Amino acid sequence: MSDLPTTPEKPADETENQMKSPDPRSGAPPEYSSSFVSGPPGPAIPPPAGYPGGLPMGYYGPHQPSTFPLYMQTGSICPIQYQPGKYPAPQLSAPVIWMPMPTPIPHCPPGLECLVQLDNIHVLQHFEPLEMVTGFETNNRYDIKNNMGQMVYFVTEDTDNYTRNAYRTLRPFVLRVTDCMGQEVMTMQRPFRCTCCCFCCPSTRQELEVHCPPGVTIGFVAEHWNLCRAVYSLQNEKKEDMMGVLGPCSTYGCGSDSVFEILSLDGVSIIGSITRKWNGVLSAMSDADHFEIHFPLDLDVNMKAMIFGACFLIDFMYFESSPPQRSNIHHD
């Protein structure tokens, strides 16, 4: 009886070995230059039919909420089927209502048409229970709503884990602002500035650069040194002062709102305000902040965007809490 021929084993393909690059991180924080930092290439899962762009995770479309199935398996177009009564019924969240998309407006940066129609917006930071329990800093997320409770924008932080947890409130970051179609309409970048040396040194003053559309700078939010309160200037793309921001003497007041006034260039007229609302215990124990922004309806839309950007720099500098550091109370 002859032996059956056997198929020789194929050698392992060396190209399948994953090449791991060394950790690029060093003792110094990453540099965020003034040039635009491009976003991710796109969502891993294609958007639903009828939408030119994707939507933020967990949100429904403003016009066709039924286009999102309740359970969708990644990489498949067929929803998962469960046997009735075998598994508990899922808890369905209420669909998010978006502000109707306005028509394009001449001389208005694309994506800012909603701001043209508003004189008041609410910035609501997402509450992260895991962050509160473990102390691990996660990317911040914000819902931007109008007075009717309609979503206007969705803001997400784009920072790596090492930078977030190593530098905490001083971390450089990139904030990406998306509309109801999932399109990035605005980008805000904060470079790293060390505050360990003299506070009056210009190199230690905080700054935020605002791009709209992404890649086109429309202005800066620049900090000014002051002994007892927060002082900022809102600048245009040429770094020329256009308006000022004056904060309270104490931004950590317990039981009351913190109001940052938007002042005219001469510092006499109050144009608007950025108010951090007091939410009781939630405000004292977590980072789930609620800001309310007021500005004139007929204010230049670029300046509205700069006031909007100043709100986030204020949040990171004064209201983004870090876990308490352990102190050595035992001495030999």
Rounded Cα–Cα distance for residues 277 and 292 (Å):
7
91-137 confidence digits (pLDDT tens):
556 788 999 988 889 989 999 999 999 999 999 999 877 777 777 88
Residue 173, phi then psi, degrees to nearest 5: -150, 165
pTM: 0.69
297 pLDDT above the threshold of 70: yes
Sequence-distant contacts of 255-264: CB under 8 A, at least 24 apart? 258/318, 258/319, 260/230, 260/310, 260/314, 262/234, 262/295, 262/307
Q: Report the pLDDT value the prediction gives residue 51, as an integer from 0 to 100.
A: 41
- Token pair, residue 244, equals 């000022």
Backbone region of residue 42 per phi and psi (left: phi > 0; alpha: psi in -120 to 50; beta: other values): left
CA-closest candidate to residue 133, choices 286, 310, 308, 12: 286
Q: Report the pLDDT value the prediction gives residue 156, as an integer from 0 to 100.
A: 96
124-180 confidence digits (pLDDT tens):
999 877 777 777 888 999 999 999 999 999 999 999 888 888 887 788 899 999 999
Q: Report the pLDDT value the prediction gives residue 32, as an integer from 0 to 100.
A: 59
Residue 174, phi then psi, degrees to nearest 5: -130, 125
Q: Report the pLDDT value the prediction gives residue 136, as an integer from 0 to 100.
A: 81
Q: Are strands 270-277 and 173-178 parallel, antiparallel or unpaired?
A: unpaired
Rounded Cα–Cα distance for residues 143 and 122 (Å):
8
